[in-house]
A and B are shown apart, each in its own frame.
Chain A
C-alpha cells in the first residue's frame, strides 16, 4: 500500500529537549515536505526536499532542521523545542514537484510544555 508514515503520532515533551519526528514514504517519490497546521492559519510549509541531499527552507523554518540522506526518509528535527512549536505536523511526498498530487502522512500532534 502506498503510504507516508510519520512517527510518533502524538508527543508531549519539555522545552529544550531535542526530538525527531520521522517520515518515511514507500512510493519512490523525489519531493518531500513538512507542514505545520495551526488553528486559524491553515498549513504552512516548514522545509522541503527536491531529492536526496537537496533541502530548502519553506515559509516557517525557524527552530527546525531536516535531512534527506535517503530518498524514502525525511526526518524533522527540533534541536531545542519551544512552546510555540506546539502544533500538528504533516509530512508529504509527491512524485514530481509540489504542483503534483501530494500524499500526506497522518500527522504528528506535538505539545511542548
Chain B
C-alpha cells in the first residue's frame, strides 16, 4: 500500500503564475518531509523540507505547507518559471531516519 501519494501525475502552469503540487501520506509516524526535483537524465536534487513540528517552511520562491491533521503537504512555487519544469517528488522520512519513502512524482510544465 502506498504510504506517500502524489495523485496528480502532471500539472501545467503559465510562467509567472503559482504552481501548487500536492502530496498525501498515510503514516502518522512520519516526522520529516522533503521535496526533490528531477530533470531528465539527472538524479533528484533536494529542494526544500519541513519538520512535522512546523506547518510552513519557505525558501525563496518555494514554500512547503504541512497539514498534519489532514496528512497533507503542498509545495507552492511563486512565481513559476520555465526552468521549474521538472518532475517533483514528495518524500517522507521514517522516524528511525533510515528510509525515505517517495511518492510517484508530479511532472510540472511551465510555459512561457
Contacts and interface: CB of A to CB of B under 8 A. Distances in A.
Given A48-B99, A50-B98, A97-B98, A102 B46 contact: yes
Interface in B31-49: 31-32, 34, 36, 41-46, 49
B21 to A, nearest CB: 14
Given A90-B44, A97-B97, A40 B31 contact: no
B111 to A, nearest CB: 24
Q: Top 10 closest A-B pairs, CB basis?
A: A97-B97, A104-B43, A99-B93, A99-B32, A42-B104, A43-B102, A101-B46, A42-B102, A98-B100, A99-B97
Interface of A: 4, 33, 35, 40-45, 48, 50, 56, 58-59, 90, 92, 96-107
Interface of B: 31-32, 34, 36, 41-46, 49, 89, 91, 93-94, 96-105
Contacts, number: 67
Nearest to B47: A101
Given A40-B104, A43-B89, A44-B102, A101 B43 contact: no
Chain B CB within 10 A, most for which of A50, A97, A107: A97
Nearest to B95: A99
User: Which among B31, B96, B98, B104 has the greatest number of chain A C-beta atoms within 10 A?
Assistant: B98
A96 B93 CA distance: 12
